[in-house]
Amino acid sequence: MKKTVLTLSLVATALLAETSTLKPLEITSTSIKQDELKSTDAIEVYTQADIEKSHVQNVYEFLNQQTSVITMPTYGNPFAQKMDMHGYGIGDGYQNIVVTLNGRKINNIDMVAPLLSSISPSAISRIEIIKSSGIVTGGDGANGGVINIQTKKSNDKELSLYGGTYGTLDGSFYIGHSDDTLSVSASAEAQKNDGIRHLNSDGDRDKNRLATGNFDLAYTPTEDLELRLNASFARTEVNYAGSLTKKHYDDDPTQEGTSYTRQKYDTDVIGAGISYYINDSLSVSADASREKKKSDSTNVSSYGPYSWIADYQYDSFRVSFDYESDLVDLTAGVDGFNGERNSHATLYGAKNTTSKDNIAGFLMSQWKFATSTIKAGYRYEKVSYEFKDASKSNSDDNTLHGIELGYNLRLDSQKSLFLNYAHSYQSPDIDRFFSYGVFNNFIEPMEANNFTLGFNLIQERNKFKVSAYYIDLKNEIYYYKDAVNSYPNPSLSVNTNIDKSHKAGLDIYDKWLISKEFELVANYNYVQAIIDDEKGRNGEDYSGNTLPGVSDHNVKLTLSYLPNDNTRFAFTQLYRSEAYAANDFQNSFSQKQDAYMSSDVSASYTTDSYEVFAKINNLFNQSNGLWIRDDAIYPVNFTTTAIAGLKLKF
């Protein structure tokens, strides 16, 4: 029952499956384990081998190229990217995805996307994506689903180095040791890029730097007890340029924009945990962590510089009781989170402290029968807010309920059908209570009813998954941008709720081992995201409109050629159809979000002791951008880039 032994065996099984035939992979990141053929949810599982052979520079790149998740740099910031899954929009979709790292939730209390760039791809063992489900154990924000990331706990010892265009340099290492008593690992990465876009007329470019480190320790003094300790840090320095007009974007997307931003973003985490195995069926686990962060950014425009500094402290804990038998698996527990942001005084507001605290209890059950699986779970969560500055203090709280029900029917050893229902929610982040830096009001949480029907086919040469979903939403959160009045005389711009909306879509995944030499992986997603009932503060009627920032079609194809056991060539094609610009709730702007296209190629030669690799992104120099409104375009992946490197294995 030791977790270190279990982890090693699961990694070995996954790697074996990748090198021979396709088999159902076990879902290991959730509190109740299950293989993907028997799962009641729509699941994507990506192994260490999948991540290694993709040769990505960060986790965002892997998600965008290989999974159903969409990512784009936040207004040009490559280290904190926006994400979307199941049609919540590239603008705010990341707030509807819970992201965990080794079980610790890494979402933020404000409108800063999870810092996935702090996780080195070389240290990851698995990424598991649970779509339109996961609210019971994932909690607040799991409307689109949950992304669970697990780092390695193995005996690997690796050193990776690569360089590339635009002054790209990267170095990373992973050192691990694992046996029946002790599992310990350390990893780190340093990365820099000299920049592509111009920031100003002085010739400065959007250069960036990143340094991360991670340490994990698990000690098993007896067969029944495991003690855990972990620590990590990330240091980022990023410069990113502002938006361009359509003309300037078409002429030269590398030129300076209307403004630019310089930001330093640091985070430090320390955590500890304990598990006690009472008997072969029952165990108890407890984990706690503290994260401290600081963001220091300055935006420079024609209006002059605007600086914003904030300090954060996040404290979280989780206690769970787990029971496993031949008939039923149960997990019950409590988790809590206390998040506080101390914002320094700015041009728009006084120094203030805003906090968001979550406390929840949950129960998840999985009933196992000869040819079927039944899942049932419930979560109770209370969310409390407090805002304080020198002149006032305001507080609010919400009580929220999450439900998951699922059924899986195995038709035979290779095929299964599943049906899933989840009632999920998202409480507002603390930025939603401000407009132009001034506290305006608390707003309602979002609630969603998710229905998913799916089919799995897992054969030795082909893994095929298809699922259809429908999501009925109440109080979807958005920012109303006043297009009639200019700030501050007066402005009606405010964070608020869409009364009613819905999303419907289809996900298709297929991995086909065509022959010994060729493999094909295809990921296709279709979605319609519709506003059913909502009126703007100036009388606009959005009812029947499409939610902006949502593409109808998302296609990702990777064809691999393996001429021998050591060599791999891969071609990846990405396509995303056009969408309404992020602020275009009235669907009336003259400019739309252009279709996104990128063709990427990679090559690698691998032995037991080393690997050499090269990769070209955006081979055909396709221009891509993020449209916010007319003539407000942030170029992303708009030119050809390349890297080449070496990995040493000891």
pLDDT tens digits along 429-483:
998 887 766 676 788 999 999 999 999 999 999 999 999 999 999 999 999 988 8
Name the residue ranges covered by the structural domains of the chain: 3-332+346-649
* Residue 96, both tokens: 């509807």
Element spanning 137, H or E? helix 135-138
For the chain, the first-to-last Cα distance in angstroms comes to 29
Q: Which pLDDT value is given to residue 34?
A: 81
Q: Which pLDDT value is given to residue 491?
A: 78
DSSP string covering 551-586, please? -SEEEEEEEEE-SSSSEEEEEEEEEE--EE-TT-TT
Tell me which residues of the chain have a pLDDT lower than 50. Answer: 1-19
Between vectors from CA 367 to CA 505 and to CA 425, what angle results, nearest 5°?
Answer: 40
* Residue 468, both tokens: 């259809």
What fold, for 3-332+346-649?
Maltoporin; Chain A (2.40.170)
Q: In sequence order, which ranges of 282-359 are alpha helices (DSSP H)?
A: none
C-beta atoms surrounding 247 within 10 Å:
8
In 3D space, the residue among 330, 118, 396, 81 whose CA is nearest the CA of residue 234 turns out to be 118
* Residue 478, both tokens: 């958005």
Calpha distance 489→491 (Å, rounded): 6
In 3D space, the residue among 336, 286, 333, 332 whose CA is nearest the CA of residue 316 turns out to be 336
Calpha distance 195→541 (Å, rounded): 42
Cα dihedral across residues 511, 57, 581, 484: positive or negative: positive
Between vectors from CA 165 to CA 161 and to CA 166, what angle results, nearest 5°?
Answer: 110
In 3D space, the residue among 392, 383, 385 whose CA is nearest the CA of residue 341 turns out to be 385
* Eight-class DSSP state of 431: G
Q: Are 533 and 18 in contact (CB under 8 A)?
A: no
Q: Are 514 and 520 in contact (CB under 8 A)?
A: yes
Q: Are 443 and 495 in contact (CB under 8 A)?
A: yes
* Eight-class DSSP state of 487: T
Calpha distance 109→355 (Å, rounded): 8
